[in-house]
């Protein structure tokens, strides 16, 4: 995206230099003033349509802006059209944005009939929250307003110099959605209008094209088109059926992962799907996680719970006998299927489901092994993710929250081990202060997909809670019991979500090694079927996944269908090929490689498989 250049930024309050710097930090996105200003213009248009309406907050966001309103009735798509039309008029009025600092009392008077603004003003005056209700760093409270035309908003800014800097053909209102006031589900539900705005029409169009592109990649759509998986109401929301083709991709991913885990010194284990209440009482899940667990089963008078996590089972394996320091580290890995209750409204394709399989592992180690183990997990994670075509990562280190278990020294040691692991690999990362779990610090890795979206996958977490609760120990060299460190990690996260991400990343065109069907034979006429069958046999013997399109169809139709199924290799067989014992290779990119011997093709395909490339 081009940086925002057109139009100036209105003069803002004079601030001390370091304060300005703080604002500059927040305003790294050059499009923010444009987006924020457009949000104000929208709020004006909405209030004109609903004079009794109440306004809440309206910040810039990635790709656009939103504004929250409390209105007497739900908004309709027609309302949005009218609001948009009115916005175009306002924009053309070239009303200047005027900044003014006011006292708390003056602000209260100005927004006397705006209860949400009054609440914000109260927080501002108290000096601990900004106008979005976010905690501030303790700067002296400044209350400011921005006025354009006849609309006034409580606002820190900055804004454009005037509404004329917003191009009437470069914004669009996208949707209206419910949003709780201050994100609190106990507070009123407001109506949020989402919009997008760009420096010019071209940029807007490019953005809308991006949205369309994302829609074409949507794993729910591709899952149906490519017959990969389904989720059917008849068997329950959030429960996934892996169809043969999706199941194959999963099993290839799992096979690869298992093989790499073994090479990396992990042990492969299995555990049941249910466990007695004792287990979950001991682990603390019944105290802290129960709202995400399904109701217990009664088995001969004992309560059993469906597992929401695998850790207690791995711990019980560790505990099954006394452990020596010589046995550590122990690394137990399992594709463990867990079930968690998720509220119906949050379910989303494969990305958010109620039953899923984690590529879970737990590492038990001695204090002196922590550093190396973390190093290895981090390297291993990136190695696995790269194999699936992900090369861009956002890494986050989350540190000790206020409420936490475990001794501070252990927290420090663990956190430093995590930090040094990242830094020793020269990886950029961001620290999320206080964002660790109550039981330990963690590293999260988001992967960036082909169109730049970030997805949370990998998590590497220390756990100071469970070793304590389960009273884990090992016998040290001195014969005395010691408590091991425990690290919990998942690399794909969940197979379901990772599969969803993979589908969207590749837009359904999996690299050859993962493609459910790697090559399809396309005989031009019936007389080529025998040779096609012979070739298919040869390819199968070479380990390739092959199909023959035997239908009474035109070659063009067969090619089209193969294209739409995103099959890497289309092998055309006509008179010439039969005569020369060759196949004519077409790639799904549309590239025609021409006729070649079956052996040459096999070599080519096997290379692509080994290299994990697209063709």
Partner RNA sequence: GCCGACGUAGCUCAAUAGGCAGAGCAUCCGCCUUGUAAGCGGAUGGUUGUCGGUUCGAGUCCGACCGUCGGCUCCA
Q: What angle do CA 535, 540, 546 make, to 5 degrees?
A: 75
Q: Where are the beta strands (DSSP E) in 403-534?
A: 429-432, 442-448, 454-462, 474-475, 481-482, 485-494, 519-523
Nearer to RNA, 160 or 382 (CB): 382
Does position 175 interact with RNA (CB under 7 A)? The reply is yes
Has 19 been annotated as catalytic? no
Of 555, 598, 602, 614, the one binding RNA by CB under 7 A = 555
Q: Is 72 in the site for RNA (CB under 7 A)?
A: no
By CB under 7 A, is residue 302 in contact with RNA? no
- Of 175, 225, 158, the C-alpha closest to 503 is 225
CB of 442 to RNA, least distance (A): 9
Q: Which stretch binds RNA (CB under 7 A): 138-146, 185-193, 297-305, 396-404?
A: 185-193
Question: Shortest approach of RNA to residue 569 CB, angstroms?
Answer: 11
Closer Cβ to RNA, 7 or 574, answer by number:
574
| Residue 143 or 457 with smaller CB distance to RNA | 457
Q: What are phi and psi of 561, to 5 degrees?
A: -65, -40
Q: Given candidates 349, 508, 511, 516, which one binds RNA under the rule CB under 7 A?
A: 349
Minimum Å gap between C-beta 294 and RNA is 13
Q: Please name the residues in contact with 122: beta carbons below 8 A apart, sequence gap of 6 or more.
A: none
Phi and psi at 212, nearest 5°, equal: -65, -40
Residue 468 is a binding residue for RNA (CB under 7 A):
no
Let me know if 340 is a catalytic residue: yes
What is the full DSSP assignment across 26-54? HT-STTHHHHHHHHHHHHHHHHHH-TT-E
Contacting residue, 251, 424, 540, 592, with RNA by CB under 7 A: 592
- DSSP state for residue 589 in the 8-state scheme: T
- 155, 311, 365, 457: which is the annotated catalytic residue? 311
Choosing from 123, 360, 463, 549, which is the catalytic residue?
Answer: 360
Pick one of 130, 149, 227, 342: the residue that binds RNA (CB under 7 A).
342
Q: Which CB, 278 or 288, lies closer to RNA? A: 288
What is the closest distance, in whole angstroms, from the C-beta atom of residue 208 to RNA in the complex?
14
Nearest partner of 375 among 424, 328, 421, 329, judged by Cα: 421
Please state, in angstroms and rounded to a whole number, the distance separating the CA atoms of residues 451 and 448.
8
User: Is there a catalytic annotation at residue 457?
Assistant: no
First to last CA, the chain: 30
Omega within 30 of 0 (cis) for the link into 146:
no
Report d(CA 554, CA 537) in Å as an integer: 23
Q: Is 396 in the site for RNA (CB under 7 A)?
A: no
In the complex, least distance from residue 457 CB atom to RNA, rounded to whole angstroms: 6
DSSP secondary structure letters along 168-226: TTSEEEEEEEEEEGGG-TTSPEEEEEEEEE-SSHHHHHHHHHHHHHHHHH-HHHHHHHT
Structure tokens at 250: 């999963």
Nearer to RNA, 353 or 536 (CB): 353
Tell whether residue 348 is a contact of RNA (CB under 7 A).
yes
Q: Are 285 and 546 in contact (CB under 8 A)?
A: no
Neighbouring residues of 482: CB distance < 8 A, sequence distance ≥ 6? 325, 366, 473, 474, 475, 476
Number of residues that bind RNA (CB under 7 A): 70
Tell me how far CA of residue 9 lies from CA of 67, 162, 359, in angstroms: 21, 9, 50
Kind and range of the H or E run holding 335 = strand 330-339
Three-class secondary structure assignment of 520-581: EEEECCHHHHHHHHHHHHHHHHCCCCEEECCCCCCHHHHHHHHHHCCCCEEEEECHHHHHHC
Q: Is 343 in the site for RNA (CB under 7 A)?
A: yes
**Cα–Cα distance for residue pair 75/78, rounded to 1 Å:** 8
273 is catalytic: no
How far apart CA 360 and CA 93 sit, in angstroms, is 59
Applying CB under 7 A, does 452 fall inside the site for RNA?
Answer: no
Is 97 or 429 the residue whose CB approaches RNA more closely?
429
From 114, 191, 358, 369, active-site residue:
358
* Residue range at the interface with RNA (CB under 7 A); choices 263-271, 293-301, 494-502, 511-519: 494-502
CB-based contacts of 258: which residues, under 8 Å, 6+ apart? 268, 333
Helix 32-49 to helix 77-92 angle, to the nearest 10 degrees? 120
Taking the least distance from each CB to RNA, the nearer of 3 and 233 is 233
The number of residues making up the chain comes to 615
Residue 106 exposed, middle or buried by CB count within 10 Å (0-12, 13-18, 19+): middle
Residues 314 to 333: which contact RNA by CB under 7 A? none
3-state secondary structure of 363: strand
Site for RNA in 499-528 (CB under 7 A): 524-527
We find the least distance from the C-beta atom of residue 183 to RNA, in angstroms, to be: 3
Q: For residues 283 and 494, which CB has a smaller minimum distance to RNA in the complex?
A: 494
By the rule CB under 7 A, 169 interacts with RNA:
no
Classified as helix, coil or strand, 585 is strand
Catalytic residue among 340, 354, 400, 497: 340
**Nearest Cα residue to 309 out of 358, 266, 346:** 358
CA angle 527–530–531, rounded 5-degree value: 95
Q: How far is the CB of 345 from RNA (least distance, A)?
A: 2
Give the x-and-dash track for 213-232 against RNA (CB under 7 A). Answer: -------x---x------x-
Residue of 36, 442, 497, 566 with catalytic role: 442
**Least distance from C-beta 449 to RNA, angstroms?**
14
**Least separation in angstroms between CB 243 and RNA:** 13
Shortest spacing between CB 215 and RNA, in angstroms = 9
- Chain centroid offset of residue 424 CA: 26
CB nearer to RNA: give 234 or 541: 234
Among the listed residues 60, 64, 223, 238, the single contact to RNA using CB under 7 A: 238
Least distance CB 526 / RNA (angstroms): 4
Residue 192 touches RNA, criterion: CB under 7 A: yes
Which stretch in 8-16, 101-109, 572-580, 600-608 sits in contact with RNA by CB under 7 A?
A: 572-580
The window from 50-58, 82-90, 186-194, 197-205 that contacts RNA (CB under 7 A) reads 186-194
Determine contact, residues 415/397, Cβ cutoff 8 Å.
yes
Tell me, yes or no, if 600 is annotated catalytic: no
Indicate which single residue of 3, 244, 345, 479 sits in contact with RNA (rule: CB under 7 A).
345
Residues that bind RNA (CB under 7 A): 74, 76, 175-180, 183-185, 189, 191-192, 194, 220, 224, 231, 233, 237-238, 340, 342-349, 352-354, 356, 358, 456-457, 459, 490, 493-494, 496-497, 524-527, 552-557, 559-560, 563-564, 570, 572, 574-577, 584, 586, 588, 590, 592, 594-595
The residues annotated as belonging to the active site are 311, 340, 358, 360, 362, 442, 488
């Amino acid at each position: 995206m081009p940086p925002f250049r057109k139009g100036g930024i209105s003069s803002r309050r004079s601030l001390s230099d370091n304060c300005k710097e703080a604002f500059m930090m927040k305003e790294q996105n050059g499009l923010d003033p444009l987006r924020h200003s457009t949000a104000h213009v929208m709020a004006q248009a909405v209030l004109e349509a609903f004079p009794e309406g109440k306004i809440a907050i309206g910040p810039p966001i990635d790709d656009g802006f939103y504004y929250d309103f409390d209105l007497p009735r739900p908004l309709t798509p027609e309302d949005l059209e009218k609001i948009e039309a009115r916005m175009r008029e306002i924009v053309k009025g070239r009303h200047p944005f005027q900044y003014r600092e006011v006292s708390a009392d003056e602000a209260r008077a100005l927004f006397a009939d705006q209860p949400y603004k009054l609440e914000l003003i109260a927080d501002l005056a108290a000096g601990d929250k900004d106008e979005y209700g976010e905690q501030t760093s303790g700067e002296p409270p400044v209350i400011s307003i921005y006025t354009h035309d006849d609309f006034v908003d409580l606002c820190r800014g900055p804004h454009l110099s005037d509404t004329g800097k917003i191009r009437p053909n470069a914004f669009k209102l996208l949707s209206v959605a419910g949003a709780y006031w201050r994100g609190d589900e106990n507070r009123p539900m407001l109506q949020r209008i989402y919009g997008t705005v760009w420096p010019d029409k071209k940029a807007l169009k490019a953005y809308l094209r991006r949205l369309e592109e994302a829609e074409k990649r949507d794993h729910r759509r591709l899952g149906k088109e490519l017959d990969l998986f389904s989720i059917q109401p008849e068997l329950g929301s959030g429960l996934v059926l892996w169809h043969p083709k999706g199941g194959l991709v999963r099993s290839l991913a799992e096979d690869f992962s298992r093989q790499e885990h073994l090479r990396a010194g992990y042990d492969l284990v299995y555990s049941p799907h249910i466990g007695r209440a004792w287990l979950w009482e001991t682990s603390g899940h019944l105290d802290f996680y129960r709202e995400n667990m399904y109701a217990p089963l009664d088995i001969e008078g004992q309560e059993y719970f469906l597992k929401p996590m695998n850790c207690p089972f791995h711990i019980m394996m560790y505990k099954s006998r006394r452990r020596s320091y010589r046995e550590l580290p122990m690394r137990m890995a399992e594709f463990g299927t867990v079930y968690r209750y998720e509220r119906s409204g949050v379910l989303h394709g494969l990305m958010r489901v109620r039953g899923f399989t984690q590529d879970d592992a737990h590492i038990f180690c001695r204090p002196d092994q922590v550093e190396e183990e973390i190093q290895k997990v981090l390297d291993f994670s990136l190695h696995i993710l790269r194999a699936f075509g992900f090369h861009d990562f956002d890494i986050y280190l989350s540190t000790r929250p206020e409420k936490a278990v475990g001794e501070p020294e252990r927290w420090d040691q663990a956190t430093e081990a995590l930090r040094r692991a990242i830094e020793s690999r020269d990886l950029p990362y961001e620290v999320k202060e206080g964002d660790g779990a109550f039981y330990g610090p963690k590293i999260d890795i988001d992967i960036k997909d082909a169109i730049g979206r970030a997805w949370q996958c990998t998590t590497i977490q220390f756990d100071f809670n469970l070793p304590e609760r389960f009273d884990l120990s090992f016998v040290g060299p001195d014969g005395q019991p010691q408590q091991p460190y425990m690290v919990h990690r998942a690399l794909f996260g969940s197979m379901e979500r990772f599969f969803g991400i993979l589908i969207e990343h590749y837009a359904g065109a999996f690299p050859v090694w993962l493609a459910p069907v790697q090559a399809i034979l396309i005989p031009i006429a019936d007389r080529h079927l025998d040779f096609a069958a012979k070739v298919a046999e040869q390819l199968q013997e070479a380990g390739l996944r092959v199909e023959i399109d035997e239908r009474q169809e035109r070659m063009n139709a067969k090619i089209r269908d193969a294209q739409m199924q995103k099959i890497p290799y289309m092998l055309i067989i006509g008179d010439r090929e039969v005569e020369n014992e060759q196949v004519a290779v077409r790639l799904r990119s549309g590239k025609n490689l021409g006729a070649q011997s079956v052996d040459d093709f096999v070599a080519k395909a096997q290379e692509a498989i080994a290299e994990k490339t697209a063709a």
